[in-house]
Structure 1
């Protein structure tokens, strides 16, 4: 696959699959931004996620999957009243608090997390936030499948709020029982 990829446009589909839930219908295009061939014919890749897709039909399964897809774009919010800019700012604030408290619990220096949004509009920011939920692939997949930025940001806000509550409790325990780190 890599040799074919390197001879074309360096883009490929990534789709979540596990033994419990099977293969997802929604995936993301990955673009190789840097690659290095290793001596044993493997590759070291740096990839960036691009647009999302939904699989319509599997065209081929060997030597790798090939599918017909529809491209997905976020629809306007269902009720049209959601302040996505405000939601994005709230999510950023929760992220900063989670980072600060997580660093404190892990004994890292407490430095202020600066502009996490990096001037991103709410939709790309919502995908960035989802990408930080490492270790929770099913949640990341659920976020990828949402086609409404406001709904995605609300779900991320709730996840970050729950994480912050957990970290706050852990921090309180650590303060009371310092030797139980």
Structure 2
């Protein structure tokens, strides 16, 4: 069994991939405290897709697989609101719920021993992305030169497919790029 660690969890109605940058507007007092503490202590926090519940109010039930996120910038918008950019790091599997209030803390096992690299045919993946972008002319999106940054673009393109994105996150590293290609090809032909 791999080493486990304890992290704070931010359940959302979105899936975060490693390398993806996500903007977050934080206004709930519990998450203001959590994110501020993570920022001050240079600690990562976890993001998981909500399986049941909502982002605001009582603690939601998260999926068991998520991604750690490192805050790359934080800006106060008002006394009770902050804006954060965070970058996805490593995937994890929740092993144990430790606390629900004021925010969720969990014990996790890392799926990726370090910041992952996902093997696959990136040339084919880029062609699939280009084909989908042609169907979405109103989008002003460009394919990044850095292969790792592609995951953020694919996540944006598949924004309405939360369950498919969650399934991608749960795959073995060598299965992710081929499955992304399959999903993009299916999306392009439909």
Q: Same fold (TM over 0.5)?
A: yes
Shift of 1:160: 1.0
Matches within 5 A, 1:152-163: 152-163=176-187
Q: Once superposed, which parts of structure 1, at least 4 consecutive aligned residues long, lie more than 3 Å away?
A: 124-130
Q: SS where residue 62 of structure 1 aligns?
A: coil
Question: Aligned partners of 2:101, 2:145: CA distance in 1, in Å?
Answer: 41
Question: Aligned partners of 1:141, 1:147: CA distance in 2, in Å?
Answer: 13
Render the CA deviation track for 1:144-174: whole Å, top value 9, x for unaligned. 111132x2122211111112112xxxxxxxx
Render the CA deviation track for 1:96-145: whole Å, top value 9, x for unaligned. 11112321xx4x79xxx86x35242xxx3674454232122111111111
1:101 maps to which of 128, 135, 141: 135
Q: Which runs of 5+ in 2 are unaligned?
A: 1-33, 54-60, 114-118
Q: What is the aligned length? A: 145
Render the CA deviation track for 1:33-67: whole Å, top value 9, x for unaligned. 11111223211111111111111111111111111
1:57 maps to which of 92, 96, 99: 96
The match for 1:89 is 123
Question: Aligned partners of 2:128, 2:112: CA distance in 1, in Å?
Answer: 26
Question: Aligned partners of 1:39, 1:19: CA distance in 2, in Å?
Answer: 30
Change (3 A) 1:163 1:31: same
Q: Which runs of 5+ in 1 are unaligned?
A: 75-83, 167-181
Q: Is the CA contact 1:91–1:156 (under 8 Å) kept in the aligned structure 2?
A: yes
Question: Aligned partners of 1:125, 1:37: CA distance in 2, in Å?
Answer: 27
Q: Which has the higher strand share?
A: 2
Q: Which has the higher helix share?
A: 1
Structure with the larger RCO, 1 or 2 (CA within 8 Å, 6+ apart): 2
The match for 2:155 is 131
Stretch deviating more after TM superposition (5-14 or 59-68): 5-14
Structure 1 or 2, whichever has the larger Rg, is 1
Matches within 5 A, 1:1-181: 1-19=34-52, 22-73=61-112, 84-85=119-120, 87-103=121-137, 106=138, 116=143, 118-120=145-147, 124=148, 127-128=151-152, 130-132=154-156, 133-149=158-174, 151-166=175-190
